[in-house]
Chain A
């Protein structure tokens, strides 16, 4: 059947199994929106109208983080596209599979500085995995097929498809390619067997090993394999900020998070290990601290699907290029061959004891001070009340770190945050995406008063579609993380980090028709949380917390892990 490009786009989405689109209309995408209102229902596609394009990208990213499926966003040309750039860059840094459709001026006007024209493929070239400008309507369906393939395979990432308005108007016979072959793009899935063999040999021989799991384990779904590896070899296991939940926090071998705000015991373990086994992590500077001091006595195994990640930041002794899940399976098999019959290595007792001693010496802690609500306690209570089972999306700042430290993620894909880009404003719209994807799960957005004010217009979105996100606002009246650095590293000079002039958030939520609760004292926390979490529909829960609480431990920027400040 002949149909116009706009309809072809929607039919293609159906072929890709897309059920949810986050978007915002405008002139260049009007044909698409017209087809949406006519056909979305029969195609089984629901479009969520956000209140700022950035939120459509964050929503799609949250959707992707909470499911592993490709998120889809649709925005108009020019300002629609430029508003989306932060969201695209975020997905790029965190390797999230997204396909972003942007409108573009008609092909005959491209390059003319036409109304709402922006060179979106140019602007996003360095923050997409790949991008396309569709110049002939025959290319539309194959391009969409290719975009979804590129976004979701290999190291996932955002792919942008720029759609000139005439491409959505022209008519052509629709047929969707069943398969796609990109001769220049062949991600390496299997680890090279010799490399795997060598790595496993080192794993067996290590006396003080640490297993270090990153976001790549989520991308590959390598959960079972990672757990088995850890258990078979009795490996203390740490997760990066992005990897949390890939290994259960309550597992006896779990060390929690490492890096700038990681546990003392975790960082000491990493610092003193003789073998660091990295699966799907990238030795980010927030993890390593001063690179020349990082795990100096250790050999490194680095498993990554992206060969360019290996050796980029640290030297690597045992590189393995491949998919985290596949390589971990290969390792398990190799282990069996080298050890025979699933033998478990128990000989690391001294190492485990040492780590336990470090943990006992300096666990995570906070001090109670009368009535004042301690933010750490709020997260602690959130964990207790939700039994660690909620989908938790954090914004960026102190509250993000307390959540990462204290929520204790046992299940995969329950932890959403902007790790690589650190984009304030992520938490709330990402939780919207997660709640859309997983309507049966409790979705909580833990946000700071700074980041929330960047996206609070999305209260209208959650109200409009009755999306049951619970917003847990940790309100300290400061740009807390900035204030903490100013306190610790700039002699208390609080330069432009005080944001105590702010709306009455409860009234604000109320004006959007969103139920809201507030706690101002320690003894109100539990009750208010329970009430908020048990109220159906979208809810805002505001916690007025201690204004100048700090996140500890902290490795100052550029310092070595061993020089972390404990209090």
Chain B
């Protein structure tokens, strides 16, 4: 199953290779990867997607947690969350029918035209992977000249974080859940 994993890491020299190296050394696959700074100076967030059975995902979580400079590891998939990725596409948009068709898709998908020429647009769209895939499929017959995708970033839903906090305060030993999952 596909999992989205979020890592908070010290933004130190070589951090990306430490995480990537762990995955390759242990035979796990990184499908997509995003790295960017957080509000806290020196701390970056990596969001990656991977796949595997429960055992593999457990190992991925724990092995990455073991890296000395990893602050936090979260399997976003385990809780309600929002995922978004961005895609940019250069598509055929010859003046006339084709251009109107592209624009109507842009509207339906709430995408944006960010660059225009006589016969092509650059489009920008964000959404979850499903929506991005659907957008791409619909544009294919029109002619995609180039494409870049970011892969997803993810955030836990606010309501869930609040609920979890209450639960943690209630529970005598909150780590137990982590241990028991092992």
Asked if A344 is at the interface of the complex by the 8 Å CB criterion, the answer is no
Q: In the complex, A281→B25 CA distance in Å?
A: 22
| B65→A307 contact, CB < 8 A | yes
Asked if B156 is at the interface of the complex by the 8 Å CB criterion, the answer is no
Q: In the complex, A184→B62 CA distance in Å?
A: 14
Asked if A192 is at the interface of the complex by the 8 Å CB criterion, the answer is yes
Which among A121, A122, A192 is the interface contact of B173 at CB below 8 angstroms? A192
Asked if B142 is at the interface of the complex by the 8 Å CB criterion, the answer is no
Query: For A311, what are the chain B residues with a Cβ–Cβ distance below 8 Å?
Result: 55, 58, 182
Query: For B67, what are the chain A residues with a Cβ–Cβ distance below 8 Å?
Result: 130
314-343 of chain A: CB within 8 A of chain B: 316, 319-321
| B179→A184 contact, CB < 8 A | no
Asked if A175 is at the interface of the complex by the 8 Å CB criterion, the answer is no
Contacts A126-B21, A193-B173 known; A319 to B59 CB distance under 8 Å? no
| B38 CB → nearest A CB, Å | 14
Q: In the complex, A311→B178 CA distance in Å?
A: 12
Interface code A177-211, partner B: CB below 8 Å = 1, 0 otherwise? 00000111100100011110000000000000000
Interface code A299-322, partner B: CB below 8 Å = 1, 0 otherwise? 000000011101110001001110
Interface code B52-95, partner A: CB below 8 Å = 1, 0 otherwise? 00010011001101111111000000000000000000000000
| B179 CB → nearest A CB, Å | 5
Q: In the complex, A192→B179 CA distance in Å?
A: 8
Q: In the complex, A184→B10 CA distance in Å?
A: 8
Asked if B17 is at the interface of the complex by the 8 Å CB criterion, the answer is yes
| A154 CB → nearest B CB, Å | 9
Q: In the complex, A182→B42 CA distance in Å?
A: 13
| B68→A185 contact, CB < 8 A | yes
Q: In the complex, A184→B8 CA distance in Å?
A: 9
Contacts A184-B70, A312-B59 known; A192 to B14 CB distance under 8 Å? no
Query: For A544, what are the chain B residues with a Cβ–Cβ distance below 8 Å?
Result: none
Interface code B95-126, partner A: CB below 8 Å = 1, 0 otherwise? 00000000000000000000000000000000
Q: In the complex, A403→B25 CA distance in Å?
A: 33
Query: For B10, what are the chain A residues with a Cβ–Cβ distance below 8 Å?
Result: 184
| A192→B175 contact, CB < 8 A | yes
Q: In the complex, A295→B180 CA distance in Å?
A: 21
Which among B55, B172, B182 is the interface contact of A319 at CB below 8 angstroms? B182
Asked if A423 is at the interface of the complex by the 8 Å CB criterion, the answer is no
| B179→A195 contact, CB < 8 A | yes
| A308→B71 contact, CB < 8 A | no
Q: In the complex, A126→B70 CA distance in Å?
A: 15
| A125→B176 contact, CB < 8 A | no
Query: For B71, what are the chain A residues with a Cβ–Cβ distance below 8 Å?
Result: 183-184
| B14→A125 contact, CB < 8 A | yes
| B179→A321 contact, CB < 8 A | yes
Contacts A150-B68, A308-B59 known; A121 to B14 CB distance under 8 Å? yes
Interface code A115-139, partner B: CB below 8 Å = 1, 0 otherwise? 0000001100110011001010000
Q: In the complex, A193→B69 CA distance in Å?
A: 27
| Contact residues on A (Cβ < 8 Å of other chain), bracket | 20 to 34
Q: In the complex, A408→B46 CA distance in Å?
A: 50
| A184→B68 contact, CB < 8 A | yes
Interface code B14-43, partner A: CB below 8 Å = 1, 0 otherwise? 100110011001000000000000000000
| B182→A125 contact, CB < 8 A | no
Query: For A195, what are the chain B residues with a Cβ–Cβ distance below 8 Å?
Result: 176, 179-180
Q: In the complex, A182→B63 CA distance in Å?
A: 18
Q: In the complex, A135→B176 CA distance in Å?
A: 41
| A125→B68 contact, CB < 8 A | no
Residue of A nearest to B17 (CB): A125
Q: In the complex, A321→B178 CA distance in Å?
A: 10
Query: For A308, what are the chain B residues with a Cβ–Cβ distance below 8 Å?
Result: 59, 62-63, 65-66
| B17→A194 contact, CB < 8 A | no
Interface code B154-182, partner A: CB below 8 Å = 1, 0 otherwise? 00000000000000000011011011101
| B124 CB → nearest A CB, Å | 35
Residue of B nearest to A307 (CB): B62
Contacts A194-B173, A319-B180 known; A129 to B68 CB distance under 8 Å? yes
| A310→B182 contact, CB < 8 A | yes
Q: In the complex, A307→B55 CA distance in Å?
A: 13
| B28 CB → nearest A CB, Å | 13
| A197 CB → nearest B CB, Å | 11
| A320→B179 contact, CB < 8 A | yes
Query: For A319, what are the chain B residues with a Cβ–Cβ distance below 8 Å?
Result: 179-180, 182
Query: For A192, what are the chain B residues with a Cβ–Cβ distance below 8 Å?
Result: 173, 175-176, 179
| A182→B68 contact, CB < 8 A | yes
| A383 CB → nearest B CB, Å | 39
Q: In the complex, A311→B21 CA distance in Å?
A: 22
| B157 CB → nearest A CB, Å | 26
Q: In the complex, A310→B62 CA distance in Å?
A: 10
| A135→B59 contact, CB < 8 A | no
Q: In the complex, A194→B69 CA distance in Å?
A: 29
Query: For B14, what are the chain A residues with a Cβ–Cβ distance below 8 Å?
Result: 121-122, 125, 133
Which among B21, B22, B68, B182 is the interface contact of A130 at CB below 8 angstroms? B68
User: Most chain-A CB neighbours within 10 Å: which of B10, B58, B62, B63?
Assistant: B62
155-188 of chain A: CB within 8 A of chain B: 182-185, 188
Q: In the complex, A182→B175 CA distance in Å?
A: 20
Residue of A nearest to B68 (CB): A130
| A307→B25 contact, CB < 8 A | no
Query: For B66, what are the chain A residues with a Cβ–Cβ distance below 8 Å?
Result: 306-308
Q: In the complex, A150→B67 CA distance in Å?
A: 11
Which among B13, B173, B179 is the interface contact of A135 at CB below 8 angstroms? B13
User: Most chain-A CB neighbours within 10 Å: which of B9, B178, B179?
Assistant: B179
Q: In the complex, A150→B179 CA distance in Å?
A: 23
Query: For A306, what are the chain B residues with a Cβ–Cβ distance below 8 Å?
Result: 66
| A512 CB → nearest B CB, Å | 40
Give 18 pairs: A residue, B residue, CB < 8 Å, sorted on A: A122-B17, A129-B68, A133-B13, A133-B14, A150-B68, A182-B68, A184-B69, A188-B175, A192-B173, A194-B176, A307-B65, A307-B179, A308-B62, A308-B65, A310-B182, A311-B182, A312-B59, A321-B182
Additional A-B contacts beyond A192-B173, A306-B66 (5; CB < 8 A): A150-B68, A195-B176, A307-B178, A316-B182, A320-B179
A positions within 8 Å CB-CB of B: 121-122, 125-126, 129-130, 133, 135, 150, 182-185, 188, 192-195, 306-308, 310-312, 316, 319-321
B positions within 8 Å CB-CB of A: 9-10, 13-14, 17-18, 21-22, 25, 55, 58-59, 62-63, 65-71, 172-173, 175-176, 178-180, 182
